[in-house]
Structure 1
């Protein structure tokens, strides 16, 4: 999960989907969580789900996500607390990546938050592991 710098909101949105192009131009057209380049079905994702009180239009609550990461995350987090977020935290310092695409939490003071983030996003789902992807993956 690469750190992203969104900066201040470029405008006020009437619909959260309208932030899509501004987010893409600011943080690139990659999933904020798994880092896959997204060419279609990119989603504007609510960091704190609206079902859990997240502001549906606040720039601070919006990131780009692939459909997979957004679906896996769903509304399982109640707040930003206890997780690593690419627009708030130094996510590069929290995770290690293997050449085969695996992700693990580094041994740092935020290890527990990094482990929770991997679980929340399903970033540990790799073929041949105990977290085998589903057929839909």
Structure 2
């Protein structure tokens, strides 16, 4: 069973959501990343192993606003409707190598407006 922690920070220009997930090796995990298409319009999104200054670092997948344009591995799957602002990262069989940071970044128009959702994934060795 996954455990989750949450910290949300917001400034006048940018916002960041920080979460922690703990899962057993071999279980699945879903890391959520969503934004309001109604409020912001279709935006580019990326999932990476960390958030960089301007985009994701160690890109796992990215969209152009209308669909997924690249994905590094079939190990990762996606849930949700990209056209509705949903790009949840699903890892169906988590391994110890999946431990670490993950970041979803939504490219919101304007300076320093991007939405960032950062996860620390901890994978516990199975019995």
TM-score, normalising length from structure 1? 0.21
More helix by share: 1
Q: Give 1 or 2: higher strand fraction.
A: 2
